[in-house]
Amino acid sequence: MGEFRHGVTRGGGDISDGEELRAALATAMAGADTALAAADLLCRACVRLLEVDGASVSLTHEGSTQGTFGSSGETSRQLDELQFTFGEGPCLDAVRQGAPVLVADLGDPAETRWPAFAGALVRSGINAVFALPVTIASKPIGALDLFRRSAGTLGAAALTGGLLAAELAALPLMDLMGSDLDWDVAAQGGDGWEQLASLSRIEVYQATGMLIGALDVGQTEALLRLRAYAFAHDMTAADTAWAILEGRVSLDPDDWLEPGGPRREPG
């Protein structure tokens, strides 16, 4: 429990405005050599910047190994994992609903949604939990959970920051889902916001659709393949998408058996 008992080291103090939070979070994952380490760093940044005592990132996507990945410390990780043990919790609900689940007081007798999980949290001294869905191309794949000892709502600035952190959390989660993808390489593709912006473009959605059709895979899998191809060829996701749309990349499924897609450079 050391993480929570001594862990009131909120370096920054006051929560700054949205732009400063964006910048602080964007650099939070710098220097990580694995996706797991990056997710840990992001969670620690949440504790530092968002007036919470613990944070963790979990992956719930079907077909992937579900569970808790990044965390601000061992206690947060263990608490978060209880949701998978019990099969209930705000994180799972946030993913199911595709919307934040904010619980200001877990000890409130009217709060009966997760009897086993809530009880375990309260016994561990956690009285508020805020679960924010992590999405890729609008599909929830996991959640960022923020834990706080004191009951009460999450402030507006902290919520804004939490939502930003949940967006960024998509990057390490994507790389944990695509086991062939190397965070080291992935992290070199510009800052987190640039990577996310490159993934949320019309041509990327269209090219994802072409991969769904050609490879007979789901939406998330198709986007992961596109992203892996981009990294393998040192291209942005948007450049890769144009290459696919303009027929410069073979969509023959045999060519996509290798992680990262066809070996040939697009001509």
Partner 1 sequence: MSDSRERDITGSFVRLASSLAKGHDVVDLLSELTEDCAHLLGIASAGLLLADDRGVLHVMAASTERTRQLEVFQVQRADGPCRDCYLDGAPVSAPDLRTEAERWPQFAPAALGAGFASVHALPMRLRDQVLGALGLFGTSPGALDPDDLSLGQALADVASVAIVQDKVKSDQRTVNEQLQAALQSRIVLEQAKGVLAQKGSLQMDEAFAALRRYARDHNLRLTAVAEAVVTRALPAQQLLAHARGAGRS
Q: Which spans of this chain sit near partner 1 (rule: CB under 8 A)?
A: 99, 137-138, 163-164, 197, 200-203, 205-214, 216, 218-219, 245, 251
CB of 225 to partner 1, least distance (A): 13
- CA 153, CA 225: separation in Å to the nearest integer? 39
Distance of closest approach, residue 17 Cβ to partner 1, in angstroms: 13
Output 151 or 210, the one with its CB closest to partner 1: 210
Q: Which is nearer to partner 1, 106 or 249 (CB)?
A: 249
- Give 38 or 215: the residue with its C-beta nearer to partner 1: 215
**Cβ contact 265:240 at 8 Å:** no
Q: Are 58 and 68 in contact (CB under 8 A)?
A: yes
Q: How far is the CB of 152 from partner 1 (least distance, A)?
A: 22
When the beta carbons of 9 and 138 are compared against partner 1, the nearer one is: 138
Closest distance to partner 1 from the beta carbon of 182 (Å): 26
Are the CB atoms for 41 and 32 separated by under 8 Å? Answer: yes
* Minimum CB distance to partner 1 smaller for 185 or for 196: 196
DSSP 3-state assignment of 162? helix
Query: Crossing angle of helices 237-245/192-199, nearest 10°?
Result: 20
The residue (of 35 and 243) whose beta carbon lies closer to partner 1 is: 243
Tokens of 123: 């016994």
How distant, in Å, are the alpha carbons of 38, 83, 162, 199, 236 from that of 44? 10, 20, 12, 25, 28
| Tokens (6 digits) for 12 | 């920054």
Minimum distance of partner 1 from residue 94's CB (angstroms): 14
Residue with tokens 């899998």: 221
**DSSP code per residue over 73-93:** SHHHHHHHHHHHHHT-SHHHH
Minimum separation from the CB atom of position 229 to partner 1 (A): 15
